[in-house]
Amino acid sequence: MSVMKRVVKSVSRKGKKVLLSREPQLVEGPKRTLFLQGRKTSDMVRDLLKDMYNIKKPDALKLSKKNDVTVFENINPLEQLCKKHEASLFVFGSHNKKRPDNITFGRMFDYNLLDMIELGIEHYMGLNEFPGPKITLGTKPCLIFNGEIWDKQEDLKHLKSIFVDMFRRETTDSVRLQGLEHAISFNATNEKVFIRSYRIVLKKSGCKTPRIELDEIGPRMDFTIRRSKLPTEDLMKQASKKPKELKEKPKKNISIDKLGTKHGRIHVGKQEIAKIQVRKMKGLKKTAADKEMGPPVKRNRNN
């Protein structure tokens, strides 16, 4: 008995777009983030989720209902929600007596958990508490990670990678100076993380280069590192694998020195000088006397 596999084909334009987005792509676009809350949340957690959702839009989805999910005890319900809404990142908010004002940042690989970091909110000021104009929707922010500690501790390494994936947008080859409007600063210590958000203001300076000032627009967040779940080396290697089509093929006989100068080596085959066609000149032609004398006689060195 043979079983025929049903081929899913869409008729509508929207359905074709959905099927196309599910296929593996060589170049990834902005990753979608799912914002959701657990069984119980505080006002601070709800405000933080709302403000981060507004910064991440339009590549974000926020669920208004509460979810019976405990990410560190059972991650399967959250994996199903991410698969349902096609989100590779999630921000989960919860609140309880043991861990009050709790926020968990995490990533998925093939809709299975890759890594997640749990942070506790110590201090928070929302967007509405800062006066002045805000950034426009969909602005690509400048991410500033201050200090070497981000590359030394394993928890902070993964948290930095999660933040980069979350706030990364379309890749561009060049940036216009007037297009730099938003900057997010990340500072960290051994146990705490501080996040600040600024609007970049360009003012007159009397020369071609404008004077740059930073106006804090919020949100202002201070976190304490609590729990984490990191991937194994094999899983992280598989998630970070680069497609063969995007790998640059090494060019032979090309090297770059310490100063950045590119050097090339050219291999030339053996030249047959006897067959080279040279330009004939009147001064090189034999005269009548040379023709009568004949070819020159070769002398033996031993004689």
pLDDT value of position 166: 94
What is the spatial distance between Cα 100 and Cα 105, in angstroms, rounded to a whole number? 16
Residue 119 in this model has a pLDDT that exceeds 50: yes
- Please, are residues 184 and 102 in contact by the beta-carbon 8 Å criterion? no
| 279: confidence class by pLDDT, cuts 50, 70, 90 | low
Q: Could you tell me where the DSSP H helices lie in the chain? A: 13-22, 43-56, 76-85, 154-167, 233-239, 288-293
Res 303 pLDDT > 60: no
pLDDT of residue 116: 96
Task: Note the pLDDT of residue 38.
Answer: 93
What CA–CA distance (Å, rounded) separates 298 from 152?
A: 79
Report, as an integer, the average pLDDT of 45-74. 93
Mean pLDDT, residues 17-21: 54
pLDDT number for residue 5: 44
Phi, then psi, of 195 in degrees rounded to 5 = -125, 130
Paired tokens of 252: 């032979």
Tell me the pLDDT band of 20, cut-offs 50, 70 and 90: low
Segment 174-189 mean pLDDT:
88
Q: CA 217 to CA 220: how far, in whole Å?
A: 8
Q: Evaluate whether 107 touches 157 at the Cβ level (below 8 Å).
A: no
Mean pLDDT computed over 24-49: 88
* Cβ pair 161, 231 in contact under 8 A: no
Looking at residue 187, what is its pLDDT? 96
* Cα separations in angstroms, 46 against 38, 52, 103: 11, 10, 10
Cα atoms in the 13 Å half-sphere on the side-chain side of 256: 4
Residues 285-291 have a mean pLDDT of: 73
**Portion of the chain with pLDDT greater than 70, in percent:** 85
Higher pLDDT, 298 or 229: 229
Single pTM value for the model: 0.76
To which CATH superfamily is domain 29-233 assigned?
Brix domain (3.40.50.10480)
The answer to whether residues 106 and 115 touch, using CB atoms and an 8 Å cutoff, is yes
Mean of the per-residue pLDDT values for the chain? 85
